[in-house]
Structure 1
Amino acid sequence: MSAAPPTPGAISSTGRRIAITAATIGVIYGYDIGNISGALLFISDEMRLTPALQGSVTTVLVAGNIVGALVAGKLATAVGRRTTMLLVAVGYALFSAWSGVVSDVLWLDVARFFLGLSIGLSLVVAPIFLAESAPAAIRGALVVGYQVATVTGILLAYLVDWALAGSGNWRLMLALSAVPSVLVIFLLVRLPDTARWYVLKGQHEQARRTLRLVDPQADADREISAIQADIAAERGGRFGEMFRRPYSTATAFVLVLGFLVQITGINAITYYSPMIFKEMGFRGNATVIGLPALVQAAALVATIGSLFVVDRVGRRPVLLGGISAMMLSGLVMISVFATGSLEGGGSLWGFAAILVFTAAFNFGFGSLVWVYASESFPARLRTFGASLMLTADLVANLIVAQFFLPLLDGLGGVTTFALFLVLAAVSWVFVHRYAPETSGRPLESIRTYWENGARWPTTPR
């Protein structure tokens, strides 16, 4: 008796494992970038760190991100998406555990650099692995779910830090993510590589078997033909082409936008919000670590909310609205520090400003900015575009991570948050002037905008 055909819309067991793996990777990534926020309070006391050394503990992670991101594409092509993700999971497990047993700041920096390198690989390869592995029925949900899982991981990091604040056990705060990392290793070894990678390596029969495992209802031969056509379209791209007409304008756009995403200060809050709350007059480790957990809960709600409105109102209104709220929050923060009202009502206004700033970022920049890199170039240049934006983003992140605490300590809250306000205003002007409204437009149509000198063609092309 033959097996019953799969139910339309049903997800295979392989598809479910991919979904679970995606969610777990996203949570670990979020946890590993968020846990330093609370841990740094106790590390600084134990190791007697200056603001510059406190910044270095965070900065080396971002430096590792940059190195990992630069080598990720070539590594994933050479050894496979799944093998690279296995290296990421092993790195997460090994270096987060190492961070929890070091004895001085030098070895902590070394461990966090290699953890950052693992994160950098993940930043590039995880979205590729998920997009290429996911069955069509859940591909969109996985992309959205990965972003939500990342914010959830940051929230979880703050909750763990808050729970351990009484004991001051920063080692456990940093090392805990090793546990789910080991789980991911066991999940990944049971998954195939992506059909696209198998086709890229000429292993068509393995690609066919993978497609049938992931989505039994798919037409495997038709999918392989589509993958071959897409790979052919991507061939022939040259990095130098990014800086020549007609794509030089699009390249400048994604570079500046990627830089502005981070330089406006979101990771100053992600990394250092407990110290900001201390500057604002809040007292007690449980309080200054617990408040960021509320901030990240609001960020999670804002991220989910953005998904429901972006297709209805368009990308530009969502981006500009989010940046406007960030600017308003900056004004409140400047007022709180300028008036010296850092006790009672003043500090509560400051908390509200930090919460709104973070939620507004995730509603606008955090949810939408990466879409432009994928839409602005033809297939043969799309990977270069995404890599350039990510590089600009990480360089700005490095600057914020290293210099925020010395600025706050040396120049004070008014000057520091005034600088972020100016940068947010520059971002608003830049998005208003240069970001096209691409909602509902096909990729070919969007590409012609940049090929036409950042103007929509007046006649159909």
Structure 2
Amino acid sequence: MSMATLPATPPPPSSRTSHRTGRMFALTGAVVGVIYGYDTGSISGALVFLSKDFHLTAAEKGLVNSILVFGSLVGALIGGKLADALGRRTAMLIVAVSYAVFVALSALAPNVVVLDAVRFLLGIAIGISIVAAPLYIAESVPARIRGASVAAYQVATVAGIALTYFVNWGLSGGGHWRWMLGLSAIPATLVLIPLLRLPDTPRWYVLKGRTDRAVEVMAMTDPDVDPRAEVAAVGAALAAEGGGSARSLLHKPYARATLFVVGLGFFCQITGINAVTYYSPQIFQEMGFTGDGQNFLLPAFVELASLAATVLAILIIDRIGRRLVLLSGIGTVVVMLAVLTTVFAMGELHGTATWVGFGAVLLFTAAFNFGFGSLIWVYASEAFPAQLRSTGASVMLSADLVANLLIAQFFPSLMAWVGAAWTFGGLAVLALGALGFAFVTAPETKGRQLEEIQGYWLNGGRWPTPAPETAP
């Protein structure tokens, strides 16, 4: 793209207007994150009551969760192509409309067959949102607030999970599982209002050859740059990204980086975080907590601790380094799963042992969000060059969702078949494997330029030796 093809720079909007527009992009994406988090957590409370209404077996309970994850895998696989073909904003509109329609239909489901079908469709919308929402934010806000804005989406997702537990607690007295599932239709509908008013991202307009609109939107959203020069830079970056293919990930020099992100994505979920998200009332009942109200309120405090851990990781990750944050988070996960295994092995629980178990669940969830939850997308975005970055992230997300599918489907059956102690003991072994994997493969990339990080993988997982300085 030559500079001659770019239109004249439009009159710059006021700094206040640009800041307001950038914040609106970030806020809109964050609301989608809250909705996603709410939908992820709402089933944990609803499942207690709908299982009784629909007379579900343990395997059928697992299918109610896993069918949504399977839909999410499908949505994630098509989300990137959809966002490229129709636009990031259009993909977000599809997500918001689909959320509103499918959560309303799930709340009205007359039987489990209809519920599973609707949740599969809802899962597709969730999978698209996982791809489209961070992309929409990252490409729309000024560079100096981009990291915080994308991180805000992650925080919003955890906040949405925390919110759903408080809602579940408030509705548990009457067993109102249909309201638990259906309430997120309201924010999903409301988020359509800003989406209909906001433009698409400058990067997508450049992708479609609409450079005049790209310059206009760039001037609207980022007062810190020359919009013509920035659009030209975006065009050059897009040209550089051409030619990246999934096949390239399987061959040198990127096979090692692919193994790292795929392994990290798989271990992120197979260690059991969504067992707590989906089945926490059942877990607390196994610990000896009685009463549906208590078993719905306790997970809310667990998620509040997770929210605090996520914020803490974001604040310190660029100060103490990625590797230390990741390893300390996974190490704490291993210890807490070992504690849970010991607690459940004691048999019938009461008194101090019950509260030790609760503390272990709280610290397990917080440690996950501090380590795995905060770092997985950072490493995925740093491991590959520009032309393979989105493909590598999609591969990592697919591994993540496959592991999530296994946990969602088989956790309740394992609890019923071999018991809580053996189930959590198995998760502890997997977490120990995750710790060893991360210790061997995770590089420390704090303060490194992307080109330096790519050199690490090109050099077989070792930092290249700097060239010796020559004397003047």
Report TM bin, short chain: over 0.9
| Cα offset, 1:106, TM superposition | 0.4
Shift of 1:370: 1.5
Give a deviation string over 1:267-294, Cα, whole Å, max 9, x none.
Answer: 0001001100111111110011110001
1:142 to 149, 153, 157: 149
Residue identity opposite 2:184 in structure 1: S
1:37 corresponds to 2:37: no
* Counterpart check, 1:405 vs 2:374: no
Instruction: Describe how 1:60-459 pairs up with structure 2 within 5 A.
Output: 60-459=67-466
The answer as to 2:14 corresponding to 1:6 is: yes
Q: Once the two structures are superposed, what CA deviation does each residue of 1:40-94 show, in whole Å capped at 9, x if it has no partner? A: 0001111111110011110011000000011111111111111111000001100
SS at match of 1:133: coil
Following the alignment from structure 1 to structure 2, what is the Cα–Cα distance between the partners of residues 143 and 293? 24
Task: Check conservation: 1:280, 1:350, Cα contact below 8 A.
Answer: yes
Distance 1:200 1:308 in 2: 34
Q: 1:4 to 1:47 in 2, by over 3 A?
A: closer
For 1:138 and 1:183, the matched residues in 2 are separated by: 25
Measure the CA separation in 2 of the matches of 1:13 and 1:289.
38
Offset, 1:332: 1.1
Instruction: Report the CA distance between 1:253 and its aligned residue.
Output: 1.1
Report how far residue 5 of structure 1 moved. Answer: 7.3
Change (3 A) 1:209 1:411: same
Q: Which amino acid aligns with 1:99?
A: S
- What is the rounded CA distance, in whole Å, between the counterparts of 2:232 and 2:403 in structure 1? 40
Q: CA deviation at 1:137?
A: 4.1
CA separation of 1:458 and 1:4: change in aligned 2, threshold 3 A: closer
- For 2:170, the aligned partner's letter is A
Q: Give 1:313 deviation, angstroms.
A: 1.4
Asked if the contact 1:35/1:157 (under 8 Å) is kept, the reply is: yes
Q: CA deviation at 1:215?
A: 2.5
| Aligned partners of 2:76 and 2:130 also within 8 Å | yes
Q: Give the whole-Å Cα distance in 1 for the aligned partners of 2:279 and 2:70.
A: 17
Counterpart in the other structure of 1:56: 63
Aligned residue number for residue 18 of structure 1:
25
Give the residue type in structure 1 aligned to 2:264: L
Where do 4+ consecutive residues of structure 1 move more than 4 Å?
A: none
Q: Which moved more, 1:172-181 or 1:334-343?
A: 334-343
Which residues of structure 1 form unaligned runs of 5+? Answer: none
Does structure 2 retain, via aligned residues, the 8 Å contact 1:35–1:158?
yes
> What is the SS of the residue equivalent to 1:164?
helix
- Give the match's secondary structure for 1:35: helix
The Cα offsets for residues 319-371 of structure 1, whole Å up to 9 and x where unpaired, read as 11111111111111111111125112111111011000000000100001221
Distance in 1 (CA, whole Å) between partners of 2:42 and 2:380 is 29
Answer whether contact 2:330 2:367 (CA < 8 A) is retained.
yes
- Kindly indicate whether the alpha-carbon contact (under 8 Å) linking 2:139 and 2:201 is maintained by their aligned counterparts in 1: yes
User: C-alpha distance in 2, partners of 1:231/1:321?
Assistant: 37
Contact 2:29–2:136, Cα closer than 8 Å, also in 1:
no
Which segments of 5 or more consecutive residues in structure 2 lack a partner in the other structure? 1-10
Q: Say whether the 8 Å CA contact 2:384–2:454 is kept in structure 1.
A: yes
Over the residues paired in the alignment, what is the CA RMSD in angstroms?
Answer: 1.5
1:6 maps to amino acid: S
Matched residue SS, 1:22: helix
Higher mean alpha-carbon deviation, 442-451 vs 206-215, is at 206-215
Note if contact 2:12-2:220 (Cα within 8 Å) is conserved in structure 1.
Answer: no
1:144 and 1:459 mapped to 2: Cα distance? 33
Output the amino acid matched with 1:271.
Answer: Y
Give the drift of 1:4. Answer: 11
